[in-house]
A = this chain, B = another copy of it.
Amino acid sequence: MTDHLESGHDKAAVAILGLGPMGRVLAEVYVDRGHPTTVWNRTAAKAGPLVARGARLAASVDEAVAAADVTIVCLNDYASTARVLRPVGEGLRGRTVVNLTSGTPSEARETAAWMGERGARYLDGAIMVPPPLVGEPGSVFLYSGPREVFDEHRATLTGVGDPRYLGTSAELAVLYNTGLLEMMYATMNGWLHATALIDAADLPVGDFAELAFGWFVPMMFGPSTAGLAAALAEGSYPGDLGTLEMNVNALEHITRTSVEQGVPAEQPRLMLEIAERAVAQGRGGENYLAVYEVFK
């Protein structure tokens, strides 16, 4: 039996703590989808437009938590989360708290432990889209924590996006979020820098983008690429199809071309230095994945 059935509504009652750009849009989506929605913010004035839309403004955090089947925390950082929830004390016992605040893995672990001591049912989460995409199809939210808490509130969490459950360790959501964002920035920076090389030669950057994203990236990176993780876990990098020495040559070439084209070369140069460090570890005859040993 889920909380929202107990509460007599057909939609779970939700509380949103923190009305920054992300908290505001979460509250809007829940109000618009018919969830009884309570909001709280340190500066209550921010709640005005939400109250006009149909949200209820809580006079205190205690009141917000007590009113909700699910309390969603969306504050600036974990320090604010602790400061805001500490006064609630025994009021957290048996309540469900979903923390979408950005933080580090150790902050997520500490907060999960702190919530556990107070008897709260805790999920840590991370939002993979900017505020304007919240509530749109395909907007992914990552969650970690007890499986049964996620399962019980899956329908409510689905209201604002596509929820992905990662596992029981609290830090999974924040850490996967961090890792995926790093991949996004790294891939973007690779493309942006490569495009600067193309542009410096007065060649068409649109044609390059079509080859890069229409063919190269999907050809190089897809579901089957995930299989490479086994090599990392085993530390096994056979160089049959190409060696790190060959990759060092290619990275030297990219760096040299950047200099020739008058494009800042730090980005390829750092990749070259990292590959050279792996070669210095005696891995020149292994394949490119051996640079993982430099990062580990």
Contact = CB atoms under 8 A, between A and B. Distances in A.
In this complex, which of A185, A210, A230, A264 has the most chain B Cβ atoms within 10 angstroms of its Cβ? A185
Contacts of A211: 164, 166, 176, 180
B208 A228 contact: no
Shortest beta-carbon contacts, A-B, top 10: A186-B190, A179-B194, A209-B229, A196-B295, A209-B226, A130-B242, A213-B225, A183-B190, A206-B229, A213-B226
Contact of A230 (B105, B130, B206): B206
Nearest to A256: B104
A223 interface: yes
B257 A104 contact: yes
A212 B179 contact: yes
Interface of A: 102, 104-106, 130, 132-133, 138, 140, 164, 166-167, 169, 171-172, 175-176, 178-201, 203-230, 232-233, 240-242, 246-247, 249-251, 253-254, 256-257, 260-261, 263-264, 266-268, 270-271, 274, 288-289, 291-292, 294-296
Given A130-B241, A187-B190, A192-B291, 10 more contacts: A133-B241, A138-B219, A169-B203, A175-B257, A176-B198, A178-B254, A182-B193, A196-B295, A214-B223, A217-B217
B194 A180 contact: yes
Contact of A212 (B180, B207, B250): B180
A233 B182 CA distance: 25
Given A171-B201, A192-B292, A274-B267, A187 B186 contact: yes
Question: What is the total number of copies of this protein in its complex?
Answer: 2
B182 A260 contact: no
Contact of A217 (B205, B221, B253): B221
Contacts of A240: 132
Contacts of A246: 130
Contacts of A197: 175, 178-179, 182
A186 B184 contact: no
Contacts of A132: 240-241
